Structure 1
Amino acid sequence: MGRRGKNKGRPISGWLILDKPWDFGSTEAVSKIKWLFKAEKAGHAGTLDPLASGMLPIALGDATKTVPYVMDGRKVYEFTVAWGEERSTDDLEGAVIAASGTRPDRAAIEALLPDYTGAIEQVPPRFSAVKIAGERAYDMARAGEEVELPTREVEIHRITLLACPDADHAVFEVECGKGTYVRSLARDFGRDLGCYGHVSSLRRSMVAPFDEAAMVALADLVALEEVADEDERLAALDAYLIDVGQALSMLPRIMITDEQAYKLRMGNPIILRGRDAPVECDDAGAFARGSLVALGEIRGGEFRPKRVFKG
């Protein structure tokens, strides 16, 4: 008797822009969304620490092919730094490893911020997902190993001091590029100001091209579990999905015919005609009837597909 094939889930595609709750891991969030949507495939663009809340873009189905483009997008965070203690994890989760009774005033904090704008060198936290010789830094740190991470360049587009609610805390907003660790900013602010510091709250409000208005609360999705009719429940969930192509607003768009779409889906290049057609391009999206057909490059008057998407 033959073995039954494993239920792979629904072949749905799209982006779900989750407002991840505090104290909920990114991997846990993806698993929950995949289960709720009964999706065949799921992934996320840009990990959020369990103690952070806010935007976690989750890709379902073919949207997983566009994750690298969203990972490269700018991000906006609002975070609070607690002065007086440096912690092993650079947030509330870790043990105190240094302390000071000194507290910075607003003028001193604002004077520091220009040094953290533009391209800066940053050392990631010891408890981070950065790999060292194939191992995650946080796994090594939890095992008691000494973790030495090299500096790397990150881009800070802007950073603003929003408030100083009391002597022990300061609230900031930062817009930054890929690979920036907000926990490292808090740690380094504290060291430069001679008072030590760590992140006490962190929320992400933007991962370009998605903005805050696109976020969906997990509680709203979970509430749909009460809908008894499965088709009705899944239709209500699917209504929250954003089209795959909306993740690619930063790329040139090529409008193509149904015949050209068929050729691309077969893995064949198509000839581009018209004076407005790009001459050379490493990454572009080909769209037919408003839907993404393929990602590819443009060379010698041809669009050459790298990744194709289901019709």
Structure 2
Amino acid sequence: MNGWINIYKPKGYTSTYCLNVLKSKFKLKKIGHAGTLDPLAEGVLPIAIGEATKSIPYLAEAKKNYLFEVFWGEETNTLDSEGVTTNVSKIIPSLKEINKVLHLFIGQIDQVPPKFSAKKINGKRCYDLARNNEEFELKPQKVTIFNLRVVSHHENKTSFLVSCGSGTYVRSLARDLAFALNTFGYASKILRSRYSHFSKKNTLTMDFLIKNVEKEDFYKYLLDIRKVLIHIPSIKLEDERIKLIKNGMKVSMLEEFGEVNIKSLIAQNQSQVLAFGELKSGFFYPKRILNI
């Protein structure tokens, strides 16, 4: 059983909890998810089953859309509503003021991750260090914001829609928007509405799967690996080169591509994804080979 399933993660549960419930219910040996959602966040959580787990890093390259709400005038240590208040301000920005600073966040920007995050320092999770009140600093990282706009504005709360690349923290974006407006703020709501072609309207709830789907019918809800990774180019190969790739050997694709470099490429037969790899000077180097 190999493929992807589009789950709606409810607020209040960890992404790992959703994996464990599905793994137990449907007796799955290999399972993983793309793009961790914070416990207080909800929305699209793509989950890979079986050999599809090898494709998880390649989905990370895709765009994500989030609806999020910023509560102005207050900052918490977690940058969301769960944390302890650390800073307050009487400055509440107007809609006009907010719209004026949005352009500062479009394109590639530097962003410091939240201290309460799954980032690691010397092998330790940052959220563990933060909970133990240990002092540490996180370096800014490059992230890409494709689009950012206001959805609604009501007194001390503003809702936004953002389209962003991998590694972006919405909680950090909320904090930085507030800084740009000379105030404080935190993400009071976060909902991931899209991840690549996975959308909120096509999600399945955990409740539906647990109560209505039997183990032998679970496969009916899985999405094909190739259809999920539509943003990655692919090439169909004949049996001779397929055998080489399955043995982990590089193969020439000079005839098809010339001496070009492609960071991510899918090798497949007529119907199935066989491997993920990189094209260097016209040669395909398999990195992840699927046992299908």
TM above 0.5, yes or no, is: yes
1:212 matches 2:200: yes
Return the alpha-carbon distance in structure 1 between the equivalents of residues 121 and 288 of structure 2: 31
Equivalence for 1:236: 217
1:305 matched to which residue of 2? 286
**CA deviation profile, 1:229-279 (whole Å, cap 9, x unmatched):** xxxx224321111112223322221112345434432434555586x4554
**Aligned letter for 1:79?**
F
Question: Which one of the candidate residues 89, 98, 113 is aligned to 1:124?
Answer: 113
Offset, 1:194: 2.8
Say if 2:230 is the partner of 1:249: yes
Question: Secondary structure of 1:72's partner?
Answer: coil
Displacement of 1:185 after TM fit? Answer: 1.3
Are residue 73 (structure 1) and residue 54 (structure 2) matched?
no
Amino acid at match of 2:152: A
- TM-superposed CA distance for 1:301, in Å, is 5.6
Aligned match of 1:17: 6
Alignment partner of 1:36 is 2:17 = no
The counterpart of 1:196, out of the listed 175, 184, 190, is 184
Aligned twin of 1:285: 266
CA spacing shift, 1:122–1:301, aligned 2, 3 Å: closer
Does the alignment pair 1:61 with 2:42? Answer: no
SS across alignment from 1:112:
helix
The aligned counterpart of 2:142 is: 153
Structure 1 stretches of at least 4 aligned residues deviating more than 6 Å after TM superposition: none
Taking structure 1 as reference, are residues 258 and 214 closer, same or farther at Cα in structure 2, changes over 3 Å only?
farther
Q: TM-score, normalised by structure 1?
A: 0.86
Specify every segment of 5 or more residues in structure 2 that has no aligned partner in the other structure, as ranges: none
Matched, 1:181 2:169: yes
Q: Deviations over 1:40-94 (max 9, x none)?
A: 1111111100000011111111111111111122111000111121111010100
Partner in structure 2 of residue 295 of structure 1 = 276
In the alignment, structure 1 segments of 5+ residues that lack a partner are: 1-11, 226-232
- Structure 2: distance between partners of 1:79 and 1:26: 18
One of 144, 156, 179 as aligned partner of 1:168? 156
Q: Displacement, 1:143?
A: 0.4
Which structure has the larger Rg over C-alpha atoms?
1
- Kindly provide the CA deviation profile for residues 199-225 of structure 1, in whole angstroms up to 9, marking residues without a partner as x: 111000112243334422112111226
Alpha-carbon offset, residue 38 of structure 1:
1.4
- TM-score w.r.t. structure 2 length? 0.91
Q: Secondary structure at the match of 1:219?
A: helix
Aligned-residue identity in percent: 37
